[in-house]
Amino acid sequence: MILIEWSKELELGIPEIDRQHRKLVDMLNQFYTELEKGAKEEAVEHFLENLEKYLKYHLSYEEKYMEEIGFPETENHRKIHNMFKKLYAEEKERYLKGDQKALRELVAFTFSWLFSHIMKTDRKYAEFVKVGA
């Protein structure tokens, strides 16, 4: 099993947000590690619980930050966040009703979110801060 390694490409140069993004990497790694040890129930429980807390705290923190810096694309960014929260709720519901595929889809989406959302979408407000626009 290969764990996700935090890299410079994931860094935005905003210490608190980078710290929170690292937490997402740690969360995925914890999930994979617990699965590897054969603790599937605990792994799933921790993942769902931690991801829910993360989405509530991190996404609202990020949105407040974008508002504070006057980022012009804040509303679009918020819509993308809301889409993730909605997807999380739907997939969790499906999983709790016995659909194993829902969990795999949620984990895969979270993994891709890490690389597509952070490296591309979040990078836009990080660049906005750097240029002081």
What is this structure's pTM? 0.90
Concatenating the DSSP letter of every residue in 45-114 gives HHHHHHHHHHHHHHHHHHHHHHHHHT-TTHHHHHHHHHHHHHHHHHHHHHHHTT-HHHHHHHHHHHHHHH
11, part of any domain: no
The CA-based angle 22-24-26, given to 5 degrees, is: 70
Q: What is the pLDDT of residues 17-40, one digit of tens each?
A: 999 999 999 999 999 999 999 998
Residue 1 in this model has a pLDDT that exceeds 80? no
4, part of any domain: no
Question: Which residues span the domain enclosing 21?
Answer: 17-131
Q: What is the share, in percent, of the chain residues with pLDDT greater than 70?
A: 98
For 8, 42, 44, 69, 96, the CA distances from 50, given in Å and listed in that order, are 24, 12, 10, 28, 16
The Cβ of residue 107 has, within 10 Å, a number of other Cβ atoms equal to 19
115, part of any domain: yes
74, part of any domain: yes
Domain tally, the chain: 1
**Residue 1 in contact with residue 24, Cβ under 8 Å?**
no
117, part of any domain: yes
Q: What is the pLDDT of residues 106-127, one digit of tens each?
A: 999 999 998 899 989 999 999 9
85, part of any domain: yes
78, part of any domain: yes
- CATH number for the domain spanning 74: value is 1.20.120.50
The Cβ of residue 123 has, within 10 Å, a number of other Cβ atoms equal to 16
What integer best gives the mean pLDDT of the chain? 93
Q: Is 98 left (phi over 0), alpha (psi -120 to 50) or beta?
A: left
Judged on CB neighbours under 10 Å (0-12, 13-18, 19+), 83 is: exposed
